[in-house]
């Protein structure tokens, strides 16, 4: 795994570039990502390109022996462009324009903006496509960041109507699919259909689901336009996009098919602070991040583009954007870096080289401080570089466990949660965490992936069952877990004929007759676990494998396939992982809280995420806080 950093030559005097490059190389960095926000400097006036500075910046990096990842600048259209076509900005759900003055102020559906993106991408790709320093291209930056996937602009509305016409053929078919007879919502033509915002109460969930599918397709086609241009002018170079953490607003599996390498931006401390973790976890891992946050995304994005992936932005110190922004424990930046390697990353790049003394991110740490002295993370990058050199190249091995992840499932649950605390990402993450706590390596895969050869398969929930999925599961011989709400909706967001779990009845004979959600704080006891958040009544000829204290079935099992009819709490997940692993003959580890293990093809990596030293039974050793142990497998 190579190391790199994100660099903004346009932020610094040109006289600093050579020394910066020399110091990067000296620190063990090999890759530098540049350019992704530099449109106003590349094209200061409409049609007038200023290539000189970028030519020299790339040349300077090249001379220092560094390779370059060049970003297209389409996340930051310049002021003159927004003024030329003010309707290119996205419109939010409340109908307000998302104006100029920060970034991502564009609508994915605006044809005029798309043409401008094609133009600037072609200009860049023609100029640098064959440059020996350029090894990779990044399209745009973090699609969807700052809530920018959904737009309710006129351009989006028009594109949505076209998308619906292509999907349904006739407006009658759309009315039937959505059930528009309800509340007199029927349309006489596609032209009458608007985006689902600004309605008096909730819009039809089928309308929302199609709007989300449409918006996701717009992101994918926006990306594909740039990919095609870059491929034409820069053959042989990889193309990536940098995805985000805990982000499901568009289908990353879909975008992943068009790129060569999936990358993501890893900010474990910011994510711990911003997401659903308990206050206890936020306290225990305040300077480390929850031990599964980075790994979860490594495994998720590895499954998004044929196994090739990397970390485009690695948190180096305090960030500026979470509610609270603590500093990592000494050792954590190196630990995060090595953990990416353990999960198969091709590279990890730190965000950013030098902390900016101006503008929005002036409180965001870098490898250097604004005065160019080394910040804490610089030493950790050196440490990581030395460790990586010592262990040599790592190959990823197929994991024993497959976890099925679906962006459409995230949208479906999000549109109709039915209980506030039923959160898709949390359910998947908790399932992942239960596996990782027992030392299992996990591949996170799309529902369309080949599941053959895995020894355990877990589907935390999959409300809409894609064609062929039930048959694929039924053909597996390994233990399979289906979570609550699986098979509970059709493609058009209806309750399936014959009730849930719809097509999954081919895999397990049961019917969900009623569902209920439970407010926070309600916990109905069962043997060793509790029923919280969600419960389903099940009719089946199968006797339940597990029941609650009142005798109501909770888990049903048919051969190797299980269906869990409640929100599984941590204790139940642990129990299910143990049973499935026992049946599959997969060995589990008893890991102290905070310890995680990951195997590459050749090495076993053990990480201590705890803030204190821990004795690790499988190593027969005590690991200091924020430390790692790497041994041949
Ligand atoms: C990412 C983004 C970077 C920078 C960083 C700060 O979301 O891609 O440009 O803003 O966060 O943590």
Give the pLDDT band (50/70/90) at residue 64. very high
* Cα–Cα distance list, 24 to 3, 170, 364, 383 (Å): 10, 59, 19, 14
The protein residue with its alpha carbon nearest to ligand 1, atom 12, reads 319
Mean pLDDT of the chain: 98
CATH of the domain at 519: 3.40.50.880
Residue 224 falls within a domain, yes or no? Answer: no
Nearest to 564 by CA among 586, 545, 585: 545
Q: Is the CB of 267 under 6 A from ligand 1?
A: yes
Note whether 136 and 40 are same-domain residues: yes
Regarding the beta carbon of 36 and ligand 1, being less than 6 Å apart is answered no
Nearest to 410 by CA among 425, 421, 427: 425
Phi, psi of 164 (to 5 degrees): -65, -40
The 10s digit of each residue's pLDDT in 514-569 is 999 999 999 999 999 999 999 999 999 999 999 999 999 999 999 999 999 999 99
> Does the C-beta of 459 come closer than 6 Å to ligand 1?
no
Distance, CA of 7 to CA of 9 (rounded, Å): 6
If one residue of 321, 355, 363 were mutated to test the ligand 1 pocket, choosing by the most ligand atoms within 8 A of its CB, it would be 321
pTM score above 0.85: yes
- Summarised one tens digit per residue, pLDDT across range 65-103 is 999 999 999 999 999 999 999 999 999 999 999 999 999
**Within-domain flag for 179:** no
Distance 364 CA to ligand 1 centre (A): 9
For the stretch 137-189, pLDDT in tens is 999 999 999 999 999 999 999 999 999 999 999 999 999 999 999 999 999 99
351 lines ligand 1 (CB under 6 A): yes
pLDDT for 600: 98
Rounded CA-CA distance 74/495 in Å is: 41
What's the number of domains the chain is made of?
Answer: 3
- Determine the 3-state secondary structure of 162 from DSSP: helix
pLDDT for 43: 98
For ligand 1, atom 2, name the residue with the nearest CA. Answer: 142
Pair (275, 410) in one structural domain? no
Could you tell me which residues come within 8 angstroms of residue 551 by beta carbon, excluding any fewer than 6 positions away?
A: none
- 597-622 per-position pLDDT tens digit: 999 999 999 999 999 999 999 999 99
**203: region left, alpha or beta (phi > 0 left; psi from -120 to 50 alpha):** beta
In this structure, is residue 542 part of a structural domain? yes
- Does residue 14 have an active-site annotation? no
Q: What is the mean pLDDT of residues 16-21?
A: 98
Burial track 158-176 (b if 16+ CB lie within 10 A, e otherwise): ebbbebbbeebeebeebbe
Please tell me whether residues 315 and 456 are part of one structural domain: no
Mean pLDDT of the region 300-322: 97
pLDDT-based confidence at 297, cuts 50/70/90?
Answer: very high
Domain boundary at 340, 358, 391, which? 391
**Please, which residues have CB within 8 angstroms of residue 596's CB and are 6 or more apart in sequence?**
291, 292, 295, 339, 436, 606, 607, 609
**340 Cα: distance to centroid of ligand 1 (angstroms):** 18
Choose the catalytic residue: 313, 339, 346, 408: 313
> What digits encode the pLDDT tens for the residues 383-410?
999 999 999 999 999 999 999 999 999 9
Q: Which of 336, 351, 360, 361 best tests ligand 1's pocket when mutated (most atoms within 8 Å of CB)?
A: 351
Indicate whether 140 belongs to any domain.
Answer: yes
Is 426 designated active site?
A: no
Pair 7, 30 in one domain:
yes
pLDDT of residue 628: 98
pLDDT in tens, 465-476: 999 999 999 999
Residues 292 and 331 in one domain: yes
Asked if residue 106 has its Cβ within 6 Å of ligand 1, the reply is no
Whether 181 maps to a domain, the answer reads no
CA of 359 relative to ligand 1 center, distance in Å:
13
Domain shared by 409 and 532, yes or no:
yes
Tell whether ligand 1 has an atom less than 6 A from the beta carbon of residue 254.
no
Q: Based on the domain organization, do 427 and 344 belong to the same domain?
A: no
pLDDT tens-digit map of 200-240: 999 999 999 999 999 999 999 999 999 999 999 999 999 99
Q: What is the pLDDT of residue 385?
A: 98
Binding site membership of 313 for ligand 1 (Cβ less than 6 Å): yes
> Considering 36, 43, 116, 142, which one is annotated as catalytic?
142
Domain extent at residue 613: 595-632
CATH code at position 333: 3.20.20.80
User: For 99-140, how does the pLDDT look when each residue is reduced to its tens digit (9 = 90+)?
Assistant: 999 999 999 999 999 999 999 999 999 999 999 999 999 999
Same domain, 439 and 506: yes
């Amino acid at each position: 795994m190579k190391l790199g950093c994100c660099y903004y030559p346009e932020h610094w005097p040109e006289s600093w570039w050579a020394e910066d490059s020399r110091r990067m190389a000296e620190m063990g960095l090999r890759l530098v990502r540049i350019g992704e926000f530099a449109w106003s400097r590349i094209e200061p006036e409409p049609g007038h390109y200023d290539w000189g500075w970028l030519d020299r910046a790339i040349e300077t990096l090249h001379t220092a022996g560094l390779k370059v990842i060049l970003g297209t600048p389409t996340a930051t259209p310049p002021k003159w462009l927004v003024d030329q076509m003010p309707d290119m900005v996205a419109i939010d759900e409340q109908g307000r324009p998302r104006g100029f003055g920060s970034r991502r102020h564009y609508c994915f559906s605006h044809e005029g903006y798309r043409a401008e993106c094609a133009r600037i991408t072609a200009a860049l790709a023609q100029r640098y496509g064959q440059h020996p320093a350029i090894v990779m291209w990044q399209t745009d930056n973090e699609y969807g960041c700052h809530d920018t996937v959904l737009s309710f602009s006129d351009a989006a509305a028009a594109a949505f109507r076209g998308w619906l016409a292509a999907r349904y053929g006739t407006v009658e078919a759309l009315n039937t699919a959505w059930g528009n007879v309800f509340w007199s919502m029927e349309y006489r033509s596609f032209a009458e259909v608007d985006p689902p915002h600004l309605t008096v109460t909730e819009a039809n969930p089928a309308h929302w689901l199609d709007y989300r599918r449409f918006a996701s397709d717009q992101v994918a086609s926006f990306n594909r336009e740039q990919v095609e241009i870059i491929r034409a002018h820069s053959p042989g170079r990889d193309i990536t996009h940098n995805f985000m953490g805990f982000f499901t607003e568009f289908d990353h599996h879909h975008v992943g098919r068009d790129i060569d390498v999936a990358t993501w931006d890893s900010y474990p401390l910011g994510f711990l602070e911003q997401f659903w973790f308990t206050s206890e976890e936020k306290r225990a891992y305040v300077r480390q991040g929850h031990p599964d946050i980075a790994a979860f995304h490594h495994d998720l994005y590895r499954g998004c583009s044929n196994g090739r992936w990397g970390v485009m932005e690695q948190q180096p110190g305090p960030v500026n954007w979470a509610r609270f922004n603590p500093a990592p424990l000494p050792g954590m930046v190196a630990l995060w870096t090595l953990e990416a390697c353990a999960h198969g990353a091709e590279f990890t790049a730190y965000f950013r080289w030098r902390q900016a003394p101006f503008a929005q991110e002036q409180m965001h740490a870098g490898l250097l401080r604004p005065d160019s002295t080394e910040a804490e993370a610089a030493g950790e990058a050196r440490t990581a570089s030395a460790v990586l050199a010592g262990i040599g190249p790592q190959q990823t091995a197929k994991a024993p466990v497959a976890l099925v992840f679906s962006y459409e499932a995230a949208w479906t649950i999000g549109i109709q949660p039915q209980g506030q605390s039923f959160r898709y990402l949390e359910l998947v993450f908790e399932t992942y965490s239960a596996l990782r706590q027992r030392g299992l390596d996990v591949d996170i895969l799309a529902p369309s992936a080949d599941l053959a050869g895995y020894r355990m398969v877990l589907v935390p929930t999959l409300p809409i069952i894609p064609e062929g999925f039930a048959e694929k599961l039924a053909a597996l011989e390994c233990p399979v877990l289906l979570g609550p709400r699986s098979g509970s909706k059709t493609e058009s967001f209806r309750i399936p004929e014959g009730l849930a779990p719809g097509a999954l009845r081919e895999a397990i004979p049961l019917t969900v007759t009623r569902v209920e959600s439970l407010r926070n704080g309600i916990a109905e006891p069962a043997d060793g676990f509790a029923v919280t958040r969600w419960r389903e009544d099940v009719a089946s000829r199968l006797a339940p494998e597990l029941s609650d204290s009142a005798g109501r079935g909770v888990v049903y099992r048919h051969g190797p396939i299980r269906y869990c009819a409640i929100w599984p709490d941590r204790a139940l997940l642990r129990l299910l992982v143990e049973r499935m692993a026992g049946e599959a003959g997969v060995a589990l580890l008893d890991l102290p809280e905070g310890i995680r293990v990951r195997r590459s093809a050749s090495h076993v990596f053990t990480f201590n995420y705890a803030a204190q030293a821990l004795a690790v039974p499988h190593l027969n050793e005590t690991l200091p806080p924020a430390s790692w142990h790497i041994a041949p497998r």
